[in-house]
Chains A and B, each alone.
Chain A
Amino acid sequence: GQQVMQIPQYQHVQEGEDFTTYCNSSTTLSNIQWYKQRPGGHPVFLIQLVKSGEVKKQKRLTFQFGEAKKNSSLHITATQTTDVGTYFCGYGGSQGNLIFGKGTKLSVKP
């Protein structure tokens, strides 16, 4: 069945460095969402991508949806300690629910 691979599983960066996480699927996705979960917290919705090749920005965060709608990325420019957490991608399941990847855990060294 449809599933996504999120890479890397962990990323350790120095504050000020950039960070990218990828969500890759073997099949075409109808849409993809990104969430951030702070340590000890719950997932918080960041963005939704629907169109092929779509790019959206939120301040230092850039989200992309691949032309073939099989992959997506989240890029953070100049990380800050407030960016610490786990970033999940989620895609629409066949029954209307959202299926999540395993996440990329980001740690930022000040």
Chain B
Amino acid sequence: DTGVSQDPRHKITKRGQNVTFRCDPISEHNRLYWYRQTLGQGPEFLTYFQNEAQLEKSRLLSDRFSAERPKGSFSTLEIQRTEQGDSAMYLCASSLAGVGAGYTFGSGTRLTVV
């Protein structure tokens, strides 16, 4: 297993366009998380899945954001009608369920909205 993979690594899009990111977690991990990180800040929680069920979604998350994990394996994060404020690094992480299981992060997808 090569760890958590994210695709693409970089995405530049025009304001108003839709974008979709993919995350492939560590296969043994049943939890998958999406975070967003801007410069100088800690990762900000967006949403997470246990298997295929989306268990929690941040109240800060706009309705333009949607995530899926259809078969409990890979996940996609879609942002509709992108805005300049969406520019950030989008990090995916996976872990085993259980109190305090450490997260393994992917290298992230850097989104730039122009």
Contacts and interface: CB of A to CB of B under 8 A. Distances in A.
A44 B93 CA distance: 10
B107 interface: yes
Contacts of B100: 30-31, 33, 48, 50, 92
A95 B55 contact: yes
A66 interface: no
Given A42-B107, A42-B108, A99 B45 contact: yes
Interface string B73-114: 000000000000000000101000101111111111000000
Interface residues of A, number: 26
B39 to A, nearest CB: 11
A96 interface: yes
A85 B31 CA distance: 27
Interface of A: 6, 30-31, 33, 35, 41-45, 48, 50, 88, 90, 92-93, 95-103, 105
19 contacts: A6-B42, A35-B103, A41-B107, A43-B93, A50-B99, A88-B43, A93-B56, A95-B56, A96-B50, A97-B33, A97-B45, A97-B56, A98-B103, A100-B35, A100-B42, A100-B43, A100-B45, A102-B42, A105-B40
